A and B are shown apart, each in its own frame.
Chain A
Amino acid sequence: MSASANPSVAPVRRFSGRSKRVLPGFGLSLGISLFFVSLVLLLPITGLVIETSGMTWDQFVFTITDPRVVESYKVTLWTALAASLFNGFFGLLLAWILVRYEFPGKRIVDAFVDLPFALPTAVAGITLATLFAQNGWYGQWLAKLGIEVAFTPLGIVVAMAFTSIPFVVRTVQPVLEELSPADEEAAVSLGASDGRVFRKVIFPSLWPALVTGIALSFTRSLGEFGAIIFIAGNTPYVSEVTSLMVFIRLQEYDYAAASAIASVVLLASLVLLFAINLWQGRYLRRLEGR
């Protein structure tokens, strides 16, 4: 969730011995946090890099540009993109109704939003595969329309969208709640139509949170494994995702190759998150007048 963090709250004279801090425990809490971050994040990443560094450059390039792997990149990218855009739309709608309207069962819907986080992804994958199979509840109707979901890339999109929808809802929801009704009233009193109020007043305030939500949803989808493999069919060159390629290499005990492919996914996610953070920082600075 680092993308939504405010970069400006750090105290100014952090390491100065002279300043007496009002709130105690800065050193201790920072130390523990950094230690923990190192333990659960940096160390595994370092392991990944070390494992990969056992390869020569040529080997590395050869592994990550294997045609089957490259095809998996393409599949993963477009399905993740489709899933996160779908979530961007649907998640916004869900957050909108949860914040804006009162209706019976609202609390239950609100709780259900987190279900994809709570559910083991494998369970989600199996359930979705059953539902969308040719004789499943949804699958049989979709089959009549000539749409196949299970065991095709479309199934990957469904699985990705399902597992990452909470990211969009939960990032947009608080921003939507904080929107001042006076802004909208001002716009309406100036004669703006509902559409114009949404486009010109509401959406620009939501935009940064929505982009963050979509980006989180996207990066989560890039690495999704459990839910996908049950519904994707895993046909080489058609419906194999990159995380599956990592898994296959691991099963072959080719740890170096697995890490090489994993590092590509990792790099892509990091670059994306970092870029979003930078862009958002600039956008928010303008709103806050700094």
Chain B
Amino acid sequence: MSITIDRISKTFGRFQALRDVALEIPEGKLTALLGPSGSGKTTLLRIIAGLESSDSGRILFGGEDVSSLHVRNRNIGFVFQHYALFRHLTVAENIAFGLESLPRRQRPSKPEIRQRVAKLLEMIQLPQLADRYPAQLSGGQKQRVALARALATQPRILLLDEPFGALDAKVRKDLRRWLRALHDEFHFTSIFVTHDQEEALELSDQVVVMSQGQVEQVNTPTELYAKPESRFVFDFLGHVNVLSGVVRGQKLVQGDAWVSLPGNRSEQEAQLYLRPHEVHLARAPDAHARLPLRIDAVSLIGSEVRIELVPEGWQSNEIWEVGMSHNEFARQNPSRGELWYGVPDIGHLFSGDNGQPKTVDWHCRDVAKACNI
């Protein structure tokens, strides 16, 4: 069942939570609503569910207008951040709740319900916990039970509000993988809300980035990461190194730092955005860039060595981060306090107030005198 969000607006008092949001959620896909807190992502999810009403606009499920339909009739499954399990009911009773709430004519018989519950317990891999109470479960187990409860009535749409937000890192990762596998098996249309970009990029088929009640960009995770269309999306999806300065004589200059931008003539303010993997470090400045950076910290954990650097002789709002392979690290052995030079390989140039960035590639410079400016 596809979902159409048609120009939805919502205000809480004087706070505009959503303004004219229009969005298409494809059938059978896992869509992430990603944004910082206050971006309106949870409000949008709750409006889709019918737990909140919009001030204007329509929600359509598979072409059918459900805006005026009560939550209980929308046939959705909703999973809450803090599980919202019924504390006085056992795990099995929790899962059976939706089935037992069906109108008498549609309600399965008692043995049938028991069978369905057993099957769902099997699916969440917790059949031995049927008679436990929620308070006796761990966070990850609770969220699985909440998911089974939401899926028991075979909803058309599954909505998850920060489903892994209250879990610790290890459990979160496991559960994420498990949910992905479950989704690949059953292909229900699902939307989940998250503020964790890694979670959104890893788990979903489509990411909707939201900010200040508006949709910033919609795309697949790979495309989104490779081609952010705005400063906000750039900033929000992982760490970014920024050199902000003035374009002067085919260079972007700030203090002691500069980067060559062949072909750029007009003098104006601009910002160069670089992902940690788009820069490498050298002992001496390169011909096309001089970015003096002093090493502030080195983190060896993970598949890559992460080096944090502080600008020397110029300024940046945030610390710079450069990734380096363990091999490379062993060879070069950079250590704290040393002065190194950043050498960009690919960069994204924002100039003027808004608009999309221009990609700059210094590698093909020799071939065709800077390819993409």
A interface residues (Cβ-Cβ under 8 A, vs B): 180, 182-183, 185-193, 196, 200-201, 204-205, 286-290
Q: With A187-B97, A189-B77, A190-B149 as known contacts, state yes or no: A180 contacts B82, CB within 8 Å.
A: yes
Known contacts being A192-B97, A192-B101, is A186 close to B88, with CB within 8 Å?
no
What are 21 A-to-B residue pairs whose CB atoms are below 8 Å? A183-B86, A185-B71, A185-B78, A185-B80, A185-B84, A186-B78, A187-B97, A190-B72, A190-B149, A190-B150, A191-B101, A192-B97, A193-B72, A200-B97, A205-B87, A205-B88, A286-B88, A287-B88, A287-B133, A288-B135, A289-B135
How far apart are the CA atoms of A186 and B97 in the complex, in Å? 10
Nearest residue (CB) in A for B106 is: A191
- Given known A205-B87, A287-B133, contact A189–B49 (CB-CB < 8 A): yes
Residues of chain B at interface, number, CB under 8 A = 30
A97 CB, nearest partner CB in chain B, Å? 23
Which of the residues B98, B135, B146 comes within 8 Å of A191, measured between beta carbons?
Answer: B98
A192 in contact with B72 (CB, 8 Å): yes
Can you add 7 more A-B contacts, CB < 8 Å, to A185-B78, A187-B97?
A180-B82, A185-B84, A186-B84, A186-B149, A190-B152, A192-B97, A290-B135
Distance A200 CA – B150 CA, assembled complex (angstroms): 17
Contact between A185 and B101, CB atoms less than 8 A apart: no
B211 at interface by CB-CB < 8 Å: no
A185 to B78, CA, bound (A): 9
**Interchain CA distance A180-B146 in the complex, whole Å:** 15
- Residues on B close to A: CB < 8 A? 49, 51, 71-73, 75-78, 80, 82, 84-89, 97-98, 101-102, 133-136, 146, 149-150, 152-153
A286 neighbours in B (Cβ, 8 Å): 88, 133, 135
- Of chain B, the residue at the smallest CB distance from A283 is B88
Top 8 A-B residue pairs of the complex, sorted by shortest distance between their CB atoms: A289-B135, A190-B98, A182-B84, A186-B84, A189-B78, A192-B101, A289-B136, A204-B88
Q: Contacts A186-B80, A191-B98, A192-B101 given: A289-B134 contact, CB under 8 Å? A: yes
Per the bound structure, the CA–CA distance linking A289 and B87 in Å amounts to 9
Contacts of B146 in A (CB 8 A): 186
What CA separation (Å) do A201 and B89 show in the bound complex?
Answer: 9
Interface pair B86/A200, CB less than 8 Å apart: yes
Docked Cα-Cα span, A205 to B84, in Å, equals 13
Residues of A within 8 A of B101 (CB): 187, 190-193, 196
Q: Cα distance A196–B102 when bound, in Å?
A: 11
Which residue of A185, A186, A201, A289 contacts B133 across the interface (Cβ within 8 Å)?
Answer: A289
Taking CB atoms, residues of chain A closer than 8 Å to B133 are 286-287, 289
Cβ–Cβ < 8 Å partners of A190 in chain B? 72, 97-98, 101, 149-150, 152-153
Which residue of chain B lies nearest to A185 when distances are taken between CB atoms in the complex?
B51
Complex alpha-carbon distance, A227 and B152, angstroms? 56
- In the bound assembly, the distance between CA atoms of A36 and B297 in angstroms comes to 61
- Complexed CA–CA distance, A193 and B107 (Å): 14
**Docked pose: A7 CA to B146 CA in angstroms:** 30
**How far is B102's CA from A200's CA once the two chains are assembled, in angstroms?**
14
Q: How far is the CA of A288 from the CA of B136 in the complex (A)?
A: 8
Q: Which of B82, B86, B134 has the most chain A CB within a 10 Å cutoff? A: B86
| B244 shortest CB reach to chain A, Å | 43
Docked CA distance A288–B87 (Å): 8
Residues of A within 8 A of B102 (CB): 191
**Bound CA–CA A258/B133 (angstroms):** 50
Question: Closest residue to B136 on the A side, CB-wise?
Answer: A289
User: How far, in angstroms, from A245 to B354 measured CA to CA in the complex?
Assistant: 88
Q: Given the known inter-chain contacts A183-B86, A287-B88, A287-B135, please indicate yes or no for A189 contacting B97, CB distance below 8 A.
A: no
Bound-complex Cα distance A49 to B26 (A): 78
| Residue of A whose beta carbon sits closest to that of B90 | A286
Select the residue from A186, A201, A204, A288 with max chain B CB neighbours within 10 A. A186
In the bound assembly, the distance between CA atoms of A191 and B100 in angstroms comes to 9
